[in-house]
Amino acid sequence: MTRQGSESGVPVTNMGQTDEVRTQRDDAPIRDEDVNRDFKYEVARQVGGEGLLRCLKCGACSGGCPVGAVTDYRPRKVLGNVLLGLKDLVLSSDDIWMCAACFTCEERCVQEVNFTDIVTILRNMAVKDGYAAEGYLEMARTVVEHGRVVPKTFAVDRMREKLELPPLQEPAMDEISKIIQASGFDKILALYKGRDTSK
C-alpha cells in the first residue's frame, strides 16, 4: 500500500476522490505494522464518533474549514488516516490539535459526520498515549496550579480597576483539586512528568 494524495498526480474519480488512498504523508509507504485495523471502530464506538464510518471522504469539510484556508491542515486527511488505521500517525500528529472547533465542517457534511467530536476523541486518545500538545499541557498545568487556564496578573487587575470592574475572585482551589483527583486529571498529567512533549 502506498500513501498518495491529491497533489500526487493520481487520477481523480467521482466526488473528488482518487482511486488510491489519500493520506498525510503522501510519499511514504504504509507498512502493515503501521496499520491498526481496530482503530476506526475504537473511535466510532465513542460518543460523537458514531458517524465516522459514514465518511465518504468527499472533502466538503476541508473545503469549508477556516483553519485549512490558511494552513495545510485538512480534516478529510485526518479522517482518511483514521479510516486507514494509522493510529500512531494520527495520534502523534500536530493536525489533531489544529481544529478550532468552529463546527463549519459538521454543518457542511452530507453524511452527518461529527468531526468536531471525532477530533476531541482523538485528542483524548492522544493525551492518554503520551502525545499531548505542549501548549495544551501548559494550560492543564496552570489549571492545576492556579485554578485558571490563564494565571491572574497585575496587568489584568489594573485593567479591571481602570474599567471599574470588580476584582477577580480567587479560585476555589480545594474544590478544583477534588475535581482534578476525581476525574483522574492528575494521573494523566503525571504521565508527562519530566517528559519532553514538544514536537
Q: Which of residues 109, 125, 143, 180 is near ligand SF4 by CB under 6 A?
A: 109
Cα–Cα distance, 77 to 105 (Å, whole number): 13
Nearer to ligand SF4, 50 or 176 (CB): 50
Burial of 35 (0-12, 13-18, 19+ CB in 10 A): middle
Segment 52-81, which members bind ligand SF4 (CB under 6 A)?
55-61, 64-67, 75-76, 79
CA angle 148, 126, 74 (to 5 degrees): 100
User: Shortest approach of ligand SF4 to residue 112 CB, angstroms?
Assistant: 8
Q: Is 49 in the site for ligand SF4 (CB under 6 A)?
A: no
103 part of the interface to ligand SF4, by CB under 6 A: yes
State the minimum distance, in angstroms, from the CB of residue 48 to ligand SF4: 12
Question: What backbone phi and psi angles, to 5 degrees, belong to 21?
Answer: -70, 150
* Listed ranges 5-13, 105-113, 158-166, 189-197: which one lies at the site for ligand SF4 (CB under 6 A): 105-113
Residue 1 is classified by DSSP as: -
Minimum distance of ligand SF4 from residue 91's CB (angstroms):
17
Treating both helix axes as pointing N-terminal to C-terminal, what angle do 134-146 and 173-183 enclose, rounded to 10 degrees? 130
Interatomic CA distance for residues 152 and 146, integer angstroms: 8
Query: Which residue stretch of 31-39, 84-92, 112-120, 147-155 sits at the interface with ligand SF4 (rule: CB under 6 A)?
Result: 112-120
Q: Which of residues 75 and 147 has its CB atom nearest to ligand SF4 in the complex?
A: 75
Q: Determine the Cα–Cα distance for residues 29 and 23; give it in Å rounded to an integer.
A: 10
Window contacting ligand SF4 (CB under 6 A); options: 30-38, 42-50, 106-114, 170-178: 106-114
- Three-state secondary structure readout of 57-126: CCCHHHHHCCCCCCCCCCHHHHHHHHHHCCHHHHHCCHHHHCCCCCCHHHHHCCCCCCHHHHHHHHHHHH
**Least Å distance between CB 196 and ligand SF4?**
27
Is 116 a binding residue for ligand SF4 by CB under 6 A? The answer is yes
Residues that bind ligand SF4 (CB under 6 A): 55-61, 64-67, 75-76, 79, 99-105, 108-109, 111, 113, 115-116
